[in-house]
Structure 1
């Protein structure tokens, strides 16, 4: 994995601890609403709520260590989280001022001030990352029988403790340099006042496409460089009393986002809708209304931003500039509000009783102004530069988006996304943040972007050959979880059929047709009884997310090529192969269900990947007796995966078929 991909992994793991902030915001916000001046001294209920929220804010560094260790672990196991907690306590104890004084043999008052701040989010992130790597490396280690109790996951906290001992020594010398550098960076921005806040907001938006805005946010929102804007704002009157907050200043790195997220982006959505071609307005309206509401109510802006980020980057640059301007204006005028999650209506309402909030109504006035600015500037830019925003696409591009090949439920979407990213054989890791699937693949070129957009994805970002993001909206985490379950064998084979096998095909010096031409009669690749796809006990096939076709319950041991073409892919376990027909049809022959788990037992490969075949040539030999006893099912789907490139699939066979002799179905060219 390259550096960008690894930073992406850290960025998405940060969303685990950050997800606790809404709880803190709600608890403290209600508490300050009840007792806005006494921060709990005048009301036991207010004190109860404020203290509850502060328990989260005051321990963010620990939550970062635990959450990132869990979020970056390969199987999201609780042992990784526990190890993160152990590592954090070991490292921060060794780097506490008292410990440094004792280890280095210097008076306590001469210990660098940096160590008084060792309990911070930066160290939490460092511990979380190291712990996750240790977990991924050692959680499967088996020790000698005498030490068997400490094998596997139980070994990880022990290894983490030892590693933190080693990490502590260089950090004794490195941490003061890092800390002073961060403080200098933060102070240079702080010294710029409102202009610095505007610069920060500009880069905050620019980093959204690659997900690295979390790293920038940690400097200004949390206690890495001494700014700590969100926790100090949520601390309200207590922060004021303790000198951690300044009225009119604390919150300036947050306030200007409210006019953008609640008003500016909805204005952009209206402009995109009005610019859409008449025949596309209904489709664009549904997309823009949902995205604008999410931005206004919750402050989740990615569904809207990704709808134009890559199709019209000029608009996104304009959006970043306007965000910087808004934050600058709010900071200059000292119109202050803050958030625990994002700059939406929920957090704005919760801010109204916070003692640090100032002139919140002016942020709403500013918001109306930015609604107009966004609407007219976006409308002008779309028309003047002929930008291909949603609904402005050329007819051929826009047509595909109207199709809805699967239902909107999570299971169907998960199956479909597994198929369009190339199946389990192409997957290295699956994760998600609030609105996007973050995927690490063997080859992102396999991903069918058009299919993703037909499913409702608002954007597809190919960061490099291995890392890709698909913007799917608030269901992202649910879809990612279900995809992981499917790939773990809970509903679909780990070696799921690829949607575009040519990209993994290799090697024979033969030409593969690039254009789909001519009808094709497909012969049965094995003898047996025909089963319709609807009867296949696997949702990926029965939903036809993988493709159109039939299945066969085999009664003989030989699997043959159903058409003339090239064997583009044979899986290592020999349970399935992909064949590219001479007319461009991409065919999948999958013997049995979940047979990948057999590790190749019951299968003998007779041809190699890249081989040129004629219809009827033997490809695999089966041990049908073994497969019948050990496979989940021997029903074997035979499907056309690029069905959208053909007119139809007709003349389906029924009853008994003979391998290489009986016509299974006909593929009609457009």
Structure 2
């Protein structure tokens, strides 16, 4: 079950990767017309509307992205199935449809059905679409139905399954929606403390890949909070000085705090290993600062020093709580990096973006000294401090872009191509299914210059590569 949830989290990275396009368009539009939000400029209005075409359709993007991501061969037929499932469920459970079933006026329909087009339903539709594809893509029918054999049967089966699912959700969705809203209101009611708890849990769930489920409640319109959408649109429900509170606290951490922690890890590395540690930590820091992608840094110490990662999660919560109390609001479409920071300057709900600089510098200092103290006090095995690194070993660096050589070493460390069942990738990780876990040599994999290796189960191995993971994956697929 946990492995399947991780796969869902991985599949969400495909639609999430589309969001920076919306961020760029929103940023340009609001820079051109920060006060009129497009009313005073045709070009600004064009950019803002183009961006909203992406943001407003996040549930559909999730349905398609999850369906493709979970399909065994990522075939486009699965994407169609995911879309069919989403359209079926949301149409059958729309306010107008439910009013007709009940024989009442639309105003009497429970509010839950007015929010049926949300990220949660999008993910569910993606799961249904991919499951039907994986199960029925090779179906063989009698000659008189042969036209509908194989992949042509997938959408038909998906429609049937989705109709049954909609019938179940007719009774279940109001309960689920009420629970999500209650959870969201409970966190909202805690103010700054609630924002801190959310941010801490966001980091704490990353090792399990479950943070996306939590984000769907606060960033999108699953439970009526929609922090991300309202921050950029300024639509009804947005409140200046409040909207953005579930995003702002990540900027000091990703742009300043984690790089400060990386510097501490470099300074505490063994002298003979500082060079190899520097290459890993510098690459991870640059990714965190500019794009907000933190996995290369976090996985560099997450499993070697889990206590230090817990400190990182707590500090993230502190950052979110403090930023909520201050007159500072920032938002992002992808993650809390420099690109999104610049683009959000003129967003409708932005408040005092310049305050990030002094706050971020303070967190950089805090991270540096806290990380350095904890590492040395408890002799934590962060990059450059592990015992097995005393042996001189040749390590390939991702910076050399020799992806073929890197893929060859990763494949050898995984036990060779005969030991590989399936290989895929997400934003920063290679995800592989293997036959025999005893053939895996983690040390050999790490010598390829990757950030780390995670083994969620006996048949799963995840290799933390970083933002260049696609190129390593492509070379690995060629070798297979």
TM-score tier by shorter-chain length is over 0.9
3-state SS in 2 of match to 1:461? strand
Which of 28, 53, 71 does residue 30 from structure 1 map onto? 28
Q: Residue 335 of structure 1: which of 306, 328, 331 is its match?
A: 328
Alignment partner for residue 467 of structure 2, among 455, 474, 479?
Answer: 474
Q: In the alignment, what sits opposite 1:403?
A: 395
1:263 to 236, 256, 260: 256
How many residues are aligned here? 479
What is the rounded CA distance, in whole Å, between the counterparts of 2:227 and 2:414 in structure 1?
40
Matches within 5 A, 1:92-491: 92-236=90-234, 239=235, 243-394=236-387, 396-399=388-391, 402-404=394-396, 408-487=401-480
| Structure 1 residue 401: Cα displacement | 5.1
1:221–1:253 contact (8 Å) kept in structure 2: yes
What does residue 556 of structure 1 align with?
A: none
Contact 1:400 1:454 in 2 (8 A): no
* 1:245 match: secondary structure: coil
Greater helix content: 2
**Does structure 2 conserve the Cα–Cα contact (< 8 Å) formed by 1:401 and 1:453?**
no
Distance 1:477 1:223 in 2: 31
* Partners of 1:144 and 1:458 in 2: CA distance: 52
User: Are the equivalent residues in 2 in contact too, given 1:288–1:304 (CA < 8 A)?
Assistant: yes
Q: Deviations over 1:363-387 (max 9, x none)?
A: 1111000111011111111111111
Separation in 2 of the partners of 1:481 and 1:120?
A: 33
Contact kept, 8 Å, 1:436 with 1:471, in 2: the verdict is yes
Q: For 2:412 and 2:133, locate their aligned partners in 1 and report how far apart those are by CA, in whole Å.
A: 30
**Correspondence for 1:585:** none
For residue 637 of structure 1, what is the aligned residue in structure 2? none
Deviation at 1:449, TM superposition (A): 0.3
Per-residue deviation at 1:456? 0.9
Distance 1:401 1:250, change over 3 A: farther
Separation of aligned partners in 1, 2:98 and 2:316: 44
> Do the aligned partners of 1:444 and 1:462 also contact (CA within 8 Å) in 2?
no
How far did residue 313 of structure 1 move? Answer: 1.4
Once the two structures are TM-superposed, the CA of residue 485 in structure 1 deviates from its matched residue by: 4.6
Contact 1:28 1:53 in 2 (8 A): yes
Query: What SS class does the counterpart of residue 336 from structure 1 fall into?
Result: coil
Q: Whose strand fraction is larger, Structure 1's or Structure 2's?
A: 1
Which residue pairs with 1:77 in the alignment?
Answer: 75
1:58 to 50, 56, 59: 56
**Equivalents in 2 of 1:99, 1:232: separation in Å?**
27
Shift of the 110–283 alpha-carbon distance from structure 1 to 2, 3 Å rule, reads same
- Cα 1:427–1:408 change in 2 (3 A) is same
SS state at 2:443 partner: helix
Cα distance in 1 between the residues matched to 2:396 and 2:179: 52
Kindly state the Cα deviation for residue 398 of structure 1 after the two structures are TM-superposed.
Answer: 4.0
* Contact persistence 2:412–2:444 (CA under 8 A): no
The within-5 A match list for 1:602-617 is none
Instruction: Name structure 2 gaps, 5 residues minimum.
Output: none
RMSD, aligned α-carbons: 1.7
Q: Secondary structure in 1 aligned to 2:423?
A: strand
Question: How far off its partner does 1:249 sit?
Answer: 0.7
Contact 2:396–2:406 at 8 Å: present in 1 too?
A: no
Aligned partners of 1:275, 1:127: CA distance in 2, in Å?
48
Q: Secondary structure at the match of 1:152?
A: coil
Contact kept in structure 1, 2:279 and 2:397, CA below 8 Å: no
Maintained 8 Å contact 2:327/2:351: yes
Query: Using the alignment, how far apart are the partners of 2:354 and 2:473 within structure 1?
Result: 39
The alpha-carbon deviation at position 118 of structure 1 amounts to 0.7
C-alpha distance in 1, partners of 2:350/2:366?
A: 25
- Aligned mates of 1:444, 1:70 — CA distance in 2: 27
Aligned residue for 2:151, secondary structure, equals helix
Query: For residues 539-580 of structure 1, what are the alpha-carbon distances to aligned partners after superposition, in whole Å with 9 as ceiling and x for unaligned?
Result: xxxxxxxxxxxxxxxxxxxxxxxxxxxxxxxxxxxxxxxxxx
1:88 to 86, 89, 100: 86
Verify the 8 A CA contact 2:118 2:222 in the aligned structure 1: yes
Q: Structure 2 CA distance, aligned partners of 1:313 and 1:132?
A: 34
Deviations 1:266-298 (A, max 9, x none): 111111111112221222222222111111111
Instruction: Give per-residue Cα distances to partners, 1:620-667, cap 9 Å, x unaligned.
Output: xxxxxxxxxxxxxxxxxxxxxxxxxxxxxxxxxxxxxxxxxxxxxxxx
Q: Verify the 8 A CA contact 2:397 2:449 in the aligned structure 1.
A: no
Deviation at 1:408, TM superposition (A): 4.4
Secondary structure at the aligned position of 2:424 is classed as: strand
**Structure 2 SS opposite 1:463:** strand
Distance in 2, Cα, partners of 1:183 & 1:428: 41
The CA distance in 2 between the partners of 1:384 and 1:44, in whole Å, is: 59
3-state DSSP class of the match of 2:346? coil
SS of the aligned residue for 1:352 comes to helix
1:495-527 CA-to-partner distances (Å, cap 9, x unmatched) read xxxxxxxxxxxxxxxxxxxxxxxxxxxxxxxxx
Structure 1 match to 2:39: 41
- Whose Rg is larger? 1
Equivalent residues of 1:400, 1:450 under 8 A apart: no
Name which of 14, 19, 24 aligns with 1:16: 14
Aligned-partner Cα distance in 2 for 1:135–1:88: 15
